[in-house]
Amino acid sequence: MQETTTEIRFASPKRYIEESLIFKKSQLGEVGFLSGNEACAYGALAAGLSFYAGYPITPSTEIAEILSYRMPALGRVFIQMEDEIASMGAIIGASLTGRKSMTATSGPGFSLMQENLGYACIAEVPCVVVNVQRGGPSTGSPTSPAQGDLMQARWGTHGDHPIIALYPASVQEAFELTMVAFNLAEKYRTPVVFLMDEVIGHMREKVVFPKEGQIPVLERRKPPKGLERFQPFAEDGGLVPPMAAFGEGYRYHVTGLHHDPAGYPTLRPDEINRWFERVFAKIEQNLDEILLYREEDLEDAETVVVSCGITARSARAAARSARARGQKVGTLTLQTIWPFPEKVLRQLGSRVRRILVPELNRGQLILEIQRCVRNPEVEIRGINRLDGGVITPAQILEKLEERSWPGNSH
Amino acid sequence: MIERYEIRLAGEGGQGLILSGLLLAAAVAVFDERNAVQTQSYTPLVRGAPSRSEIVISDGVIDFPEVIAADCLVALSPGAFRDFSDAVKSEGRILVDSELVSLDGVQPRAQVLGLPFTRLAREKVGKSLAASTVALGALAELTHIVRLSSLEEAVRMRAPQGTEELNLRALKVGAEAARELAAVGRASA
């Protein structure tokens, strides 16, 4: 199979950021003080976002607000749609014309997007879907943090499908990982879900804007011009077939039905099977690039706190305190939540004794960890909070010091 | 070297607390070159409902971004004083709007300092909405946790367009009032 090549061009994020956001030029670069939602919006602009469609919803609204004036100012398209179903449809359509597309929402809107998200999966349409999570289900607690959409991000749409979901734990990461989300979407022809916590979305921190070229900006691979016959889902073009933009010459068929390499509906088991094999392989064979995570103090750790987003901040604070008290604790922060880093967790399970999983839900992340860590010697426990507050370092520390852990009794 | 210094600005929606928190944190993080994180809590109701902004300052990495035990509380409403004064460390400080907040019946462990932020804002700045910026000026003068000049830089960079001069004046008014209060304190001691 032919190697996937992707055109790379470098962009200076500076061009997409308002001067007023840059407080200061330092040796590190240009420094701003932003919220996570602001960072996400500007990171998207820096990555080349050229079409945004959405319906504002707390706690994601600032993303739409910023893009509503920045996009027209940059000659790009912003549309406020009638709802989230239409928003998702619009970004799929725009992406098919070659635009880098995004929408942003929260839990209730993310639920409405699920059907069309599946369409983006089957038609292999690059796009970024931001979900700044809030307390749910339904209207829930609009202004409170929750991490209840981990599984919705994975399995919210029906049918088997691969998906990529990223999860920042700081404002700096919100900027950088948004750029990465676009790169992965374009490179692998897939929707990428960008999960944020309400606290990260609204929290403000110092951001050092990446220097020109520091984070590459990837463009999707297009077919060469003048082909006699273009096949949008060709099986001989590598795992990620080149994608022609509507309006640039090639006409082709796009459908939500299972389709053959030409894009026409098929019920042939061999064609359906080959499609599944290929779309899963394009993710599974590139895990080295897709799986992002951050390890801290794992070398000698007997206990590891595994978490994501805002909870990871508490985990790191607690781990440091525990170390100061003589406990060998480390942390693993997942920046890529889907595909799940199975191998990383399996390896971790072979060398630690305890895994603690704090999360702002009833236990979603812990299910995956229990699935991956098959060593019966490892004790896996969770801390769960659903009342709209965050898990504090003290709560984690208290749990770490519980006498009932195997090996803690002495 | 500051390991962790926590400030809570509390009052009601519409008092400008979220903006003040942003200005304070940006001043510290960008111009004082420390680390600072600002978080906020608000209800969907906006004006009149409880609102607060929290700032954590450190010379090291700030993992947990919210206030655990405040070193300083600025309370611009009776509710804010009642709800948060006990969550201030005993060696901490509480700044209250002395004309909006009654101290009767609440005896926090921390030292309480009162200044008429809202009246100062109305009379000396020309806009009662600037009360929280007046409080920032006082906070800088009384705690030295942020340089006044850094707050001024942050105001110039990030205050809503057209309000820069007003906010700069508010900072100055607050700092002067705090200096006077400190002088009175020294004289009576």
pLDDT band at A22 (very low <50, low <70, confident <90, very high): low
Q: Which chain A residues are within 8 Å of B38, Cβ to Cβ?
A: 203-205
Percent of chain A with pLDDT over 70: 93
Q: Which chain B residues are within 8 Å of A310, Cβ to Cβ?
A: 65
Q: What is the CATH number of the domain that holds A67?
A: 3.40.50.970
A166 within a domain of the structure (yes/no): yes
> In angstroms, rounded to a whole number, what is the distance separating the alpha carbons of residues B55 and B100?
23
| Mean pLDDT score across all residues of chain A | 93
Tell me if chain A has a CB within 8 Å of the CB of B23.
no
pLDDT for A250: 96
Tell me if chain B has a CB within 8 Å of the CB of A24.
yes
Tell me if chain A has a CB within 8 Å of the CB of B29.
yes
Query: Phi/psi at A349 (nearest 5 deg)?
Result: -65, -20
The token duo for B187 is 């004289």
Tell whether the model's pLDDT for residue A93 goes beyond 90: yes
Interchain proximity B39–A203, CB inside 8 Å:
yes
What pLDDT, in 10s, does the model give residues A370-406? 999 999 999 999 999 999 999 999 999 999 999 889 8
A279 within a domain of the structure (yes/no): no
Tell whether the model's pLDDT for residue A256 goes beyond 60: yes
A223 within a domain of the structure (yes/no): no
Q: Which chain B residues are within 8 Å of A23, Cβ to Cβ?
A: 26, 30-31, 153-154, 157-158
Closest CB to A203: pick one of B42, B44, B65. Answer: B65
SS3 B28: helix
A203 within a domain of the structure (yes/no): yes
A354 within a domain of the structure (yes/no): yes
Tell whether the model's pLDDT for residue A237 goes beyond 80: no
| Chain B residue whose CA is closest to A320 | B63
10 Å CB burial of residue A72 (0-12, 13-18, 19+) is exposed
Q: Residues of A334-362 as b/e, b for ≥16 C-beta within 10 angstroms? A: bbbbbbbbeebbeebbeebbbbbbbbbbe
Does residue B26 contact residue B157 with C-beta atoms inside 8 Å? Answer: yes
Interchain proximity B37–A24, CB inside 8 Å:
no
* CATH fourth-level superfamily of B5-188: Pyruvate-ferredoxin oxidoreductase, PFOR, domain III (3.40.920.10)
Closest CB to B64: pick one of A142, A202, A314. Answer: A314
Question: Chain A window 240-299: which residues touch B at a Cβ cutoff of 8 Å?
Answer: none
Interchain proximity A205–B37, CB inside 8 Å:
yes
Which of A218, A233, A267 finishes a domain? A218
Tell whether the model's pLDDT for residue A2 goes beyond 70: no
Does residue A133 contact residue A196 with C-beta atoms inside 8 Å? Answer: yes
SS3 B40: strand
pLDDT for A272: 98
Say whether both A180 and A300 belong to one domain. no
Model ipTM?
0.90
pLDDT for A5: 40
Tell me if chain A has a CB within 8 Å of the CB of B4.
no
Overall average pLDDT of the A216-239 stretch: 92
Tell me if chain A has a CB within 8 Å of the CB of B45.
no
Query: A24 or A37, which is more confident?
Result: A37
pLDDT for A100: 98
Interchain proximity A392–B64, CB inside 8 Å:
yes
Closest CB to B37: pick one of A203, A320, A393. Answer: A203
pLDDT for A210: 86
Residue among B149, B117, B150 nearest B9 (CA):
B117
Tell me if chain A has a CB within 8 Å of the CB of B120.
no
Interchain proximity A204–B44, CB inside 8 Å:
no
The H helix count followed by the E strand count for chain B is 6, 6
Q: Which chain A residues are within 8 Å of B149, Cβ to Cβ?
A: none
For residue A330, the distance in angstroms to the closest alpha carbon of chain B comes to 14
Spell out the per-residue pLDDT of chain B, length 189, in tens. 899 999 999 999 888 898 899 999 999 998 998 999 999 886 665 567 888 999 999 999 999 999 999 999 999 999 999 999 999 999 999 999 999 998 887 788 999 999 999 999 999 999 998 999 999 999 999 999 999 999 999 999 888 888 999 999 999 999 999 999 888 877 765
Q: Output DSSP code: residue B77.
A: S
Radius of gyration for the alpha carbons in chain B, expressed in angstroms and rounded = 15
pLDDT for B176: 97
Say whether both A194 and A303 belong to one domain. no
Tell me how long chain B is: 189
In degrees to the nearest 10, what's the CA dihedral of A390, A392, A395, A398? Answer: 160
The token duo for B125 is 């700045």
pLDDT for A3: 36
Say whether both A125 and A211 belong to one domain. yes
Tell me if chain B has a CB within 8 Å of the CB of A23.
yes
Tell whether the model's pLDDT for residue A121 goes beyond 80: yes
Closest CB to A393: pick one of B44, B64, B153. Answer: B64
Tell me if chain B has a CB within 8 Å of the CB of A351.
no
Query: A2 or A88, which is more confident?
Result: A88
What pLDDT, in 10s, does the model give residues A307-349? 999 999 999 999 999 999 999 999 999 999 999 999 999 999 9
| Chain B residue whose CA is closest to A57 | B44
Does residue B73 contact residue B143 with C-beta atoms inside 8 Å? Answer: no
Residue among A160, A152, A159 nearest A337 (CA):
A152
C-alpha separations of B182 from B96, B110, B115, B139, B176 in Å:
15, 16, 11, 12, 10
Interchain proximity A206–B39, CB inside 8 Å:
no
Query: Phi/psi at A361 (nearest 5 deg)?
Result: -165, -175
pLDDT for A104: 98
> In angstroms, rounded to a whole number, what is the distance separating the alpha carbons of residues A368 and A374?
11
For residue A19, the distance in angstroms to the closest alpha carbon of chain B comes to 10
Q: Which chain A residues are within 8 Å of B28, Cβ to Cβ?
A: none
> In angstroms, rounded to a whole number, what is the distance separating the alpha carbons of residues A331 and A317?
10
Question: Chain B window 134-173: which residues touch A at a Cβ cutoff of 8 Å?
Answer: 153-154, 157-158
Tell whether the model's pLDDT for residue A364 goes beyond 80: yes
For residue B64, the distance in angstroms to the closest alpha carbon of chain A comes to 5
List the end-to-end C-alpha distance of chain A, in Å, as a whole number: 58
A257 within a domain of the structure (yes/no): no
Domain boundaries, chain B: 5-188
Interchain proximity A24–B31, CB inside 8 Å:
yes
A384 within a domain of the structure (yes/no): yes
Tell me if chain B has a CB within 8 Å of the CB of A323.
no
What pLDDT, in 10s, does the model give residues A174-220? 999 999 999 999 999 999 999 999 999 999 999 998 887 888 999 99
Does residue A153 contact residue A326 with C-beta atoms inside 8 Å? Answer: no
pLDDT for B46: 56
For residue A249, the distance in angstroms to the closest alpha carbon of chain B comes to 47
> In angstroms, rounded to a whole number, what is the distance separating the alpha carbons of residues A390 and A385?
7
What pLDDT, in 10s, does the model give residues B115-161? 999 999 999 999 998 999 999 999 999 999 999 999 999 999 888 88
Closest CB to A313: pick one of B36, B38, B63. Answer: B63
Tell me if chain B has a CB within 8 Å of the CB of A317.
yes
Which of A182, A203, A218 finishes a domain? A218
Say whether both A301 and A211 belong to one domain. no
Residue among B71, B14, B67 nearest B37 (CA):
B67
Tell whether the model's pLDDT for residue A410 goes beyond 60: no
Overall average pLDDT of the A33-60 stretch: 96
pLDDT for A372: 97
Q: Output DSSP code: residue B160.
A: P
A29 C-beta neighbours (distance < 10 Å), count: 18
The token duo for A190 is 């897939």
What pLDDT, in 10s, does the model give residues A144-164? 999 999 999 999 999 999 999
Run of H or E residues at B157: helix B148-158
Which of A200, A218, A236 finishes a domain? A218
> In angstroms, rounded to a whole number, what is the distance separating the alpha carbons of residues B39 and A201?
10
Q: Which chain B residues are within 8 Å of A394, Cβ to Cβ?
A: 68
A169 within a domain of the structure (yes/no): yes
The token duo for A173 is 């990461």
- Taking the mean position of all CA atoms in its chain, how far away is CA A54? 18
Q: What is the CATH number of the domain that holds A379?
A: 3.40.50.920
> In angstroms, rounded to a whole number, what is the distance separating the alpha carbons of residues B120 and B141?
16
Which residue segment(s) compose the domain that A357 sits in? 294-400
Amino acid at the residue B129: L
Closest CB to A33: pick one of B29, B43, B65. Answer: B29
Number of domains forming the structure of chain A: 2
Pairing status of strand B70-75 against strand B50-58:
unpaired
